[in-house]
Structure 1
Amino acid sequence: MFAAPITEPMQRSRGEASAALCCGLAGLRLTGLRQQGSAKCILPHGPNGRDGAPEIVFLNTSGGLTGGDTLSYAVQLGPRARAVATTQTAERAYRSAEGAARVRVTMDVGEGGWLDWLPQETILFDGSRLDRRTVITLGPGAGCLLVESVVLGRAAMGETVRRLALRDWREIRQGGRPVMVEPLALTDRALVTGAAGLAGARAFASVAMIGQGVSDLLDPVRAVLDEPGVTAAASALDGRLMLRMLASDGWPLRRQIARCLAVLRRGQALPRVWQI
């Protein structure tokens, strides 16, 4: 006799983590912390980032994402508050039987504040489906540094990505209007060589910096865009600096990102969870 097919829905992971910081009489203090499901938020002791800003480290204890999973990260900074937010390790999107995994990132930076959002790379495996939306809202005089990098499989493991579906929306708003909107839709057709696709690249990244005087960093950051195996370009206009990178693999891309961040963050160390 044959066993009856399984009809029960498969278990899905749900995760939500958020942190809120504000400036008080004794300095920066934690005013809110929420953790639910597979998402966790850790605030290591001691400053590390820009002007001694604390680190906020998000992690997904489910080990990765597949169709039907949902993950939410949020940071809220009060006026003049500064922080560095990152992820504990690379996020992995695995093959999906049906539906897409959903990730929502919401960051609010109060007047005169600053946020470095420096997540580690997202690794897309063959057959993965990921829908991600990142929205950063800046108050008057606030600024941010945003990094997003994607790696198509692990070259060292001989993995090849032939099927995938990525919808990635990145938006930065200030004064009620968007100052950067970057929608990305990546499907199987983009995995071809040539100008219409990724030109054979296995990894790519975008870096955006919004704030007063960031255009002054354009020439210094262009001077370090020479990592072997990486093609990169930078531009700046009206308080916005943008970088685009294509790489043969995730490791040279990570090295190039680290060198750019050293310039953009004026020599401040990378988050301690990063490994270079």
Structure 2
Amino acid sequence: MFAPPVPAAHEPLLPAYVRAAGGVRLRFGLVGARTHRLDVGESGGYRARFPTTFDATSEAVLINTGGGMAGGDAMAVNIDLGAGADAIVTTQAAEKIYRSQGSDTRIKTQLSVAAGARLAWLPQETILFSGARLARHLAVDLAADARLIACETVFFGRGAMGETMLRGALRDRWRIRREGRLIFAEDVRLEGAIAETLTRSAIGAGAKAAATVVAAGSDLADKLEQVRALAADELQVEIGAGIVADLLVIRLLSPDAQALRRVLVTLLGQLTGRALPRTWST
């Protein structure tokens, strides 16, 4: 039976003061030969922690102390890398998007990477509960020779609990610019009976988990061959990849969320050339 979406409310069912709003602002720069955090801003229930690293890279772990987000909540992340900086930004755990009473959950991420800098934006998966409404926007500004690995993953329900996202809404917008010129633009919109929609062969072919990975930098042709070699040996996860403008764009789909995560860990390790942050294995 068709499950109608939770409609977006013209007026919020709960007053704004009971909804969570905040985010994290980070600025990194070179101090000598090492990357250091130069500016940290935290608001609402969002925090950043900085594990010790033993190379020139700086690592940041974003934390949502509320344990998840619901309809009407909003989060903003702003990450700025100065010239030559090298940073990895991840999250402490998966972000849970709970059922909405009508309003969207809003997440806005802005990444700026200056000349010669390298950023790995590697948040763990976003889990959409049935009835969730998520509006997410990722905007990236790259200098001419800036390097980037960016990954976003969505699980449609908690598979380990036997749950499925029967209905809800997802709007996911990506905008990537190189020296101010738009080089990648994408909008994904799923609304209504999402589980039913994902069974269609031209959309998800039964997928319950999806990921998009974008790489900007050098040796993209070599990285593409590595991805295709990984895809050739993988049976549980559908992987597609290609070079668009000067970006390597990779898609992953799977009916098994844990299988997708396993492949994603291998893939991101190959693309970044280093082990993933420890939060990915805890």
Q: TM-score, normalised to structure 2's length?
A: 0.89
Contact 2:167 2:194 in 1 (8 A): no
Residue 224, structure 1, aligned to residue 230, structure 2: yes
Cα 1:196–1:190, aligned 2, differ >3 Å: closer, same or farther?
farther
Deviations 1:145-201 (A, max 9, x none): 111110011122121221110111112111111221121111235533222432111
Match of 2:36 in 1: 29
Distance 2:52 2:209 in 1: 33
Deviations 1:44-66 (A, max 9, x none): 11147xxx422111111111111
Contact 2:164 2:195 in 1 (8 A): no
Distance 2:125 2:202 in 1: 23
Cα 1:152–1:112, aligned 2, differ >3 Å: closer, same or farther?
same
Distance 2:68 2:108 in 1: 15
Match of 1:3 in 2: none
Gaps of 5+ in 2: 1-12
Q: 1:208 aligns with which of 207, 210, 214?
A: 214
Match of 1:239 in 2: 246
Distance 1:242 1:9 in 2: 38
Distance 1:39 1:194 in 2: 37
Segment drifting more, 27-36 vs 81-90: 27-36
Give the drift of 1:233.
Answer: 1.3
Residue 131, structure 1, aligned to residue 131, structure 2: no
Q: SS of the counterpart of 1:29?
A: strand
Distance 1:85 1:47 in 2: 16
Q: 1:89 aligns with which of 78, 86, 93?
A: 93
The letter for the 1-side match of 2:52 is: H
Contact 2:84 2:116 in 1 (8 A): yes
Distance 1:261 1:37 in 2: 30
Q: 1:64 aligns with which of 60, 63, 68?
A: 68
Q: 2:276 aligns with which of 241, 262, 270?
A: 270
Distance 2:33 2:159 in 1: 48
Distance 1:209 1:179 in 2: 12
Distance 1:136 1:54 in 2: 19
Q: TM-score, normalised to structure 1's length?
A: 0.91
Give the drift of 1:29.
Answer: 2.5
Contact 2:166 2:193 in 1 (8 A): no
Contact 1:41 1:56 in 2 (8 A): yes
RMSD: 1.9
Residue 108, structure 1, aligned to residue 112, structure 2: yes
Cα 1:7–1:116, aligned 2, differ >3 Å: closer, same or farther?
closer
Q: 1:179 aligns with which of 174, 177, 183?
A: 183
Match of 1:169 in 2: 173
Segment drifting more, 119-128 vs 168-177: 168-177
Cα 1:7–1:62, aligned 2, differ >3 Å: closer, same or farther?
closer
Gaps of 5+ in 1: 1-5
Cα 1:160–1:10, aligned 2, differ >3 Å: closer, same or farther?
farther
Give the drift of 1:78.
Answer: 0.4
The letter for the 2-side match of 1:76 is: D
Distance 1:202 1:118 in 2: 20
**Paired positions, count:** 267
Instruction: Report percent identity of matched pairs.
Output: 36
Segment drifting more, 194-203 vs 242-251: 194-203
Distance 1:43 1:258 in 2: 21
Q: Which consecutive aligned stretches of 4+ in structure 1 deviate over 4 angstroms post-superposition?
A: 6-10
